[in-house]
Amino acid sequence: MNNKIIFYGLIVAFGLVVPFLFPAFKLQISIMLILIILSLTWDVQGGQMGYNTFGNILFFGLGMYICSSFQIGLFFPLAEWTASGGEKTFVHTPTQFFQGFAVGLVLSGIIPALVAALIGYGILGLRGHYFAICTLGLGIAAGELAGGIELVGAGQGMTSPPWPKGIGDTELRSEFFYYICFTLMVCTFLFLRWAYTTRFGLVLNAIRDNEDKAEAMGINTMRYKITGWVVSAFFVGMAGGLMGNMIGYIEPVETAFAGRTFGVFMVLMAILGGKGTLWGPVIGAVAFHIFKEGFWIFFLGWQYVALGALIVIVVIFFPEGIMGWFREKYPERFGEVIDEEDRKAEVKLN
């Protein structure tokens, strides 16, 4: 137990000093933290519950739009902010900026969570491929819809409020968003770590292993499935709100409902790291981000080919992901007791 506390303490300490160790990489690392949140929350459905969702990107985009809309709408007319591709300029005072940001960020968690509860009731009744395809449609439809809503800039996108003038420079801005991202990541991780130790976690696993049996045993699986999705939507939505602020420009299909990039990445990262484990998605996200950024430099124009090759390698050599591979190699470290005598015993077939 002591070891664990030291280990977590070290990670948190490392996280706190990172902006000073790698000052040029603050945005990159912040985005990595967002990716960790995305893969952790995807794993609630995809890994623990066995429901492969492509729809979590819906909450990411919603969170992005909601956060920025409230940040703007609380102080200025939103329709004027986005009119004609954002021709008019409004400037937030620091107080307005931070008040708006706090309200926007909280709502960017709550509203997607409500949406998840509403649509979850219908969609989570689907299983297997049907569920996957249905959720795939969600993200695409949301992107097209957002592209038609004039209030949020439609196809021209909208800018999120720029960092207010008069309080620090771009360094302070990146540090601010880095620490918010870090806090959100830690909260997500701790919450899920706790949730997986409760009955909730066990039920999710039961649903994955045999949903009919779980139901037959008297578990209201739908309730748990919806709760799981609400949890994911809450954290993904907040991650989206943060991302919108960090990037500064929200485009319906490229940044908000970016099914082709973040929507796919979150699945990939969880699988790369090992789905159904707590640490797998974290390790997967870190490894993925480092590889991806590396490929972007060294294989300019061929980065997706290199990424494809990496996926093929993972599928062939690490079908269970990085954590799965470790688990197979060192099962005793994962609390699996191995009877050495039994293991070495000769097996005789009749």
Q: Which residues of the chain form contacts with another protein (CB under 8 A)?
A: 3-4, 7, 10-11, 14, 22-28, 31, 84-89, 144, 147-148, 154-157, 159, 162-163, 170, 173, 243, 247-249, 251-255, 258, 261, 279, 283, 286-287, 290, 293-294, 296-297, 300-301, 303-304, 326, 330, 333
Question: Closest approach of Cβ 143 to another protein, in Å?
Answer: 9
Question: Closest approach of Cβ 296 to another protein, in Å?
Answer: 7
Of 229 and 295, which CB lies nearer to another protein in the complex structure? 295
Q: Rounded to an integer, what distance in angstroms lies between the CA atom of residue 263 and that of residue 257? A: 8
Question: Closest approach of Cβ 108 to another protein, in Å?
Answer: 17
78 token code pair: 């939103």
66 token code pair: 């909601």
Of 27 and 132, which CB lies nearer to another protein in the complex structure? 27
Question: Closest approach of Cβ 86 to another protein, in Å?
Answer: 5
196 token code pair: 């997986």
Contact (CB, 8 A) for 46 and 135: no
CA 289-28-244 angle, 5° bins: 105
Q: Rounded to an integer, what distance in angstroms lies between the CA atom of residue 75 and that of residue 77? A: 7
Of 123 and 323, which CB lies nearer to another protein in the complex structure? 323
Of 123 and 243, which CB lies nearer to another protein in the complex structure? 243
Can you spell out the DSSP letters for 112-174?
HHHHHHHHHHHHTT--HHHHHHHHHHHHHHHHHHHTT-GGGTGGG-EEPPPPPTTS--HHHHH
Of 61 and 100, which CB lies nearer to another protein in the complex structure? 61
Question: Closest approach of Cβ 269 to another protein, in Å?
Answer: 14
Q: What ranges in the chain are assigned the alpha helix state H?
A: 2-21, 26-43, 56-73, 78-86, 94-123, 128-146, 170-197, 199-216, 221-247, 264-273, 279-298, 303-317, 321-329, 340-344
Question: Closest approach of Cβ 73 to another protein, in Å?
Answer: 19
Strand 249-250 with 158-159, pairing: antiparallel
Of 28 and 220, which CB lies nearer to another protein in the complex structure? 28
